[in-house]
């Protein structure tokens, strides 16, 4: 009877908590009023019979929710003997919940049902990238994504609007990047806890896009969201932005205006991130953004006093038109005049080639309407393009740093490390 009483208290607290929380052992025993020996014996029996599990702060940080997978029975019993009842919570197992609850009432909330059945809240669930498209293209939602993670939420304006149905007023606190194990294609990962808070309609929509094959979470996303640890790597997008910052610092040291009119370390353009849907349209949208950050962002004032920024163009009728030279041409000319290798080779063309390729790609869609297409190779093409552009900026930084006035310049070490990755 006492065992049933203890289990009843654990189950009642769990189902009534609102978030499927565990009950502190100190609170539980205050209600049961067992001797310590009898209380430990009751819990030991329930654990061995797989009717309850214990979650410890020493293992999962916050014992009030079942964040991660349970310890083994032996590990739970060992900790029960040695750890404070104020830092441990008890939970019913799936078997007990199924006997107590009509789980069919949760069929329209598949992720809430999984939480109800005692799955760990931070169980990763993997989805096709397409699941994000609804939110990414819908202006009613704030879609934030950088590097390995992001969030989605209805904007304040639309949250307060009567024109938006309650089912669509959702918040997904965090999602991350994962990879399938076969091709390392990017996928979306969301923890069960955050999926369970979506409306029934949105849970069902996400459920359609679940990936059943084995996938893995990006290690930095897992490190940050589960263990609260600092990332180990830096994204190529971070590196690109910081290279422009460092080049502008060097320009100041050598007595020149900034080479780039604007830097983006604090506020990256929307869309300057890993591709979340592998389509031709998304690839060309990225190319457009990248070109604006490169060729359109180069500052003509940097070259003033060093070279002519105008050229004469003879027209078919013999007249002469004065035209300002393009930023890429100006940069190539400036570099060619000042920097060469020890054997006299000109570095300018090699550095400018990736930037010109970006410009050419940007001009392609402008020459006519093109049908969109889905192709899982587009993310790799985007990575390759950004990688080449980033290496060109690194070369520029290294060239600028050879100026006598920059002898005391120190760059961030991570920019030249092997910790820059494409998430």
DSSP 345-374: -B-HHHHHHHHHHHHHHHHGGGGS-----B
Is residue 376 very low, low, confident or very high in pLDDT (cuts 50, 70, 90)?
Answer: confident
CA distance 334 to 217: 45
CA dihedral for 383, 386, 388, 393, sign (positive or negative): negative
The tokens describing 102, both together, are: 């009509």
374 DSSP β-pair partners: 279
Task: Decide if pLDDT at 402 tops 50.
Answer: yes
Ranges 78-82, 121-125, 373-377, 409-413: which has the least confidence: 373-377
pLDDT of residue 67 exceeding 90: yes
Inter-residue long-range contacts of 241-247, CB under 8 Å, 24+ positions, other chains counted: 241/265, 241/268, 242/412, 242/415, 243/390, 243/393, 243/394, 243/396, 243/397, 243/415, 244/293, 244/297, 244/393, 246/397, 246/411, 246/412, 246/415, 247/393, 247/396, 247/397, 247/400
The partner residues of 186 in beta bridges, in order of sequence, read 179
pLDDT band at 3 (very low <50, low <70, confident <90, very high): very low
Euclidean distance between CA atoms 418 and 113, whole angstroms: 43
Beta-strand relationship, 141-146 and 149-154: antiparallel
Q: What is the pLDDT of residue 2?
A: 43
- Copy the structure tokens of residue 51: 């009717």
For residue 287, count other CB atoms closer than 10 A to its CB.
22
Q: Which of 68-82, 130-144, 317-331 has the lowest mean pLDDT?
A: 317-331
- Per-residue pLDDT band at 38 (split at 50, 70, 90): very high
Residue with tokens 């400018």: 352
Per-residue pLDDT at 245 exceeds 60: yes
Rounded (10°) CA dihedral 122, 126, 127, 132:
40
Q: How far, in whole angstroms, is CA 102 from its chain's centroid?
A: 37
421's CB contacts (< 8 A; 6+ apart) are 233, 234, 235, 236
How much is the average pLDDT of 88-99?
A: 97
Interatomic CA distance for residues 327 and 350, integer angstroms: 16
CB 39 within 8 A of CB 24: no
Instruction: Determine the average pLDDT of the residues in 140-148.
Output: 94
What residues form DSSP beta bridges with 144?
Answer: 151
Count each helix (H run) and each strand (E run) in the chain, helices first. 17, 13
Q: What is the pLDDT of residue 366?
A: 55
What sections of 64-103 are H helices per DSSP? 73-82, 94-100
Residue 107 has pLDDT above 90, yes or no: yes
Res 1: pLDDT: 39
Determine contact, residues 404/412, Cβ cutoff 8 Å.
no
Region label for 165, one of left (φ > 0), alpha (ψ between -120 and 50) or beta (otherwise): beta
Residue 23 contacts residue 14 (beta carbons within 8 Å) = yes
pLDDT mean over 63-72 = 96
- pLDDT-derived band at 420 (thresholds 50, 70, 90) equals very high
Q: Which of 169-173, 210-214, 276-280 has the lowest mean pLDDT?
A: 276-280
The DSSP output letter for 37 is: H
Query: Domain extents for the chain?
Result: 2-101, 104-226, 235-421
Q: What's the whole-number average pLDDT of the chain?
A: 93
Q: Does the structure show a pLDDT above 70 at 365?
A: no
Closest C-alpha to 38, from 85, 2, 78: 2
pTM score, whole prediction: 0.87
Query: Residue 219's closest CA among 255, 162, 177, 185?
Result: 177
């Amino acid at each position: 009877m006492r065992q049933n009483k203890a289990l009843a208290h654990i189950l009642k607290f769990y189902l009534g908590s609102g978030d499927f929380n565990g009950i502190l052992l100190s609170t539980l025993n205050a209600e049961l009023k067992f001797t310590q020996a009898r209380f430990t014996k009751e819990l030991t029996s329930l654990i061995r019979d797989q009717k309850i599990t214990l979650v410890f702060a020493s293992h999962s940080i916050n014992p009030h929710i079942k964040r991660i997978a349970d310890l083994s029975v032996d590990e739970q019993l060992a900790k029960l003997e040695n750890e404070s009842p104020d830092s441990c919570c008890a939970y019913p197992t799936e078997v007990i919940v199924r006997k107590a609850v009509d789980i069919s009432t949760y069929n329209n909330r598949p992720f809430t049902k999984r939480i109800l059945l005692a799955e760990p809240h931070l169980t990763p669930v993997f989805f096709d990238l397409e699941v994000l498209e609804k939110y990414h293209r819908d202006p009613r939602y704030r879609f934030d994504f950088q590097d390995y993670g992001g969030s989605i939420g209805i904007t304040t304006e639309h949250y307060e609007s009567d024109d938006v149905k309650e089912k669509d007023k959702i918040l997904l606190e965090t999602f991350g990047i994962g990879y399938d194990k076969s091709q390392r294609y990017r996928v979306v990962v969301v923890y069960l806890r955050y999926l369970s808070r979506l409306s029934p309609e949105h849970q069902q929509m996400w459920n359609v896009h679940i990936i059943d094959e084995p996938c893995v979470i990006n290690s930095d996303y897992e490190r940050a969201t589960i263990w609260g640890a600092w990332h180990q790597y830096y994204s190529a997008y971070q590196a690109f932005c910081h290279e422009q910052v460092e080049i502008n610092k060097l320009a100041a040291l050598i007595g020149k205006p900034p080479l780039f009119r604007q830097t983006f370390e604090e506020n990256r353009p929307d869309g300057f991130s890993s591709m979340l849907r592998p389509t031709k349209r998304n690839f060309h949208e990225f190319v457009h953004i990248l070109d604006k950050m490169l060729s359109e962002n180069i500052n003509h004032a940097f070259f003033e006093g060093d070279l002519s920024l105008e050229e004469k163009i003879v027209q078919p009728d013999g007249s002469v038109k004065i035209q300002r030279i393009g930023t890429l041409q100006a940069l190539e000319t400036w570099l060619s005049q000042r920097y060469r290798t020890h054997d006299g080779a000109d570095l300018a063309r090699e550095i400018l080639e990736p930037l010109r390729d970006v410009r050419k790609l940007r001009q392609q869609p402008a020459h006519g309407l093109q049908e969109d297409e889905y192709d899982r190779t587009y993310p790799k093409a985007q990575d390759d393009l950004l990688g080449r552009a980033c290496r060109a900026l690194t070369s520029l930084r290294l060239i600028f740093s050879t100026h006598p006035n920059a002898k005391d310049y120190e760059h961030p070490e991570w920019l030249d490390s092997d910790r820059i990755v494409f998430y």
